[in-house]
Structure 1
Amino acid sequence: MSVVAELPETMRAALLTAPRKFEVRDVPLPDCGPDDVLVKVERCGICGTDVHMFNGHYAPERLPIIPGHEFSGTVAATGINVSRFHKGQRVVADINIGCGHCYYCRRNEILNCAQMQQIGISRDGGFAEYVAVPGRLVIPAQGDQPFNLLALVEPVACVVRAARKADVRFGQSVVILGAGPIGNLHVQMMRLVGAAPIIVAEPFARRATMALDAGADIVVSDPAKLKSEVFKRTGGRGADVVIESVGLPKLYTLAFELIRPGGHVAAFGIPGPDDTIPLELLRTVLRENSIKGSVAGMGEDMHDALSLLAHGRFNTKAFTRRSASLEDIQTTFETLPDHPEALKVQISIGAAA
Structure 2
Amino acid sequence: MGKMLAAVLVEPRKFDLQQVEIPAVGRDEVLIRVTRTGICGTDVHIFNGHYAADRLPLVPGHEFCGTVAVLGQDVRHLTEGQAVVADINIGCGTCYWCRRNEILNCPSMTQVGIGRDGAFAEYVVVPARLVIPVPGGMPPELQALVEPVACVVRAARKARVGFGQSAVVLGAGPIGNLHVQMLRLCGVAPIIVADLSADRCRMALEVGADSAISDPARLKAEVLARTQGRGADLVIESVGSPRLYALAFDLIRKGGHVAFFGITGPGETVPVDILRTVLEENSLKGSVAGMGEDMHDALTLLAHGRFQTKDFTGASFRLEDIQTAFDTLADRPADLKTQVVIG
Unaligned runs of 5+ in 2: none
User: Aligned residue for 1:165?
Assistant: 158
Q: How do 1:1-353 residues align onto structure 2 when only pairs under 5 Å count? A: 9-350=2-343
One-letter code of the match for 1:346? Answer: Q
Q: CA deviation at 1:158?
A: 0.1
TM-score normalized with structure 2 length: 0.99
User: Aligned residue for 1:3?
Assistant: none
Please list the CA deviations of residues 28-54 of structure 1 after superposition, one character each: whole Å capped at 9, or x if unmatched. 001111101110000000001111111
Q: CA deviation at 1:21?
A: 1.0
Please list the CA deviations of residues 280-300 of structure 1 after superposition, one character each: whole Å capped at 9, or x if unmatched. 110111110011110100000
Separation in 2, partners of 1:81, 1:240: 48
Q: CA deviation at 1:166?
A: 0.4
Q: CA deviation at 1:187?
A: 0.2
Separation in 2, partners of 1:184, 1:106: 31
Q: CA deviation at 1:61?
A: 1.0
Q: CA deviation at 1:344?
A: 0.3
Q: Secondary structure at the match of 1:26?
A: strand
* Equivalent residues of 1:212, 1:218 under 8 A apart: yes
* Equivalent residues of 1:90, 1:144 under 8 A apart: no
One-letter code of the match for 1:317? Answer: K
Larger CA deviation: 272-281 vs 151-160: 272-281
Separation in 2, partners of 1:86, 1:99: 24
TM-score normalized with structure 1 length: 0.96
Separation in 1, partners of 2:270, 2:196: 22
Q: CA deviation at 1:131?
A: 0.4
Q: Secondary structure at the match of 2:244?
A: helix
Q: How many residues align?
A: 343
Separation in 2, partners of 1:98, 1:18: 27
Unaligned runs of 5+ in 1: 1-7
Please list the CA deviations of residues 209-251 of structure 1 after superposition, one character each: whole Å capped at 9, or x if unmatched. 1000110001111100100110010010000000000010110
Separation in 2, partners of 1:274, 1:76: 41
One-letter code of the match for 1:295? Answer: V
Separation in 2, partners of 1:190, 1:225: 22
Please list the CA deviations of residues 229-277 of structure 1 after superposition, one character each: whole Å capped at 9, or x if unmatched. 1001001000000000001011011100000001110110111112111
Separation in 1, partners of 2:268, 2:56: 24
Separation in 2, partners of 1:269, 1:28: 35
One-letter code of the match for 1:199? Answer: I
Q: Secondary structure at the match of 1:52?
A: helix
One-letter code of the match for 2:70? Answer: A
* Equivalent residues of 1:157, 1:298 under 8 A apart: yes
One-letter code of the match for 1:229? Answer: E
One-letter code of the match for 1:281? Answer: I
The runs of 4+ residues in structure 1 deviating greater than 3 Å are: none
Percent pairwise identity:
68
Separation in 2, partners of 1:273, 1:26: 33
Larger CA deviation: 80-89 vs 128-137: 80-89
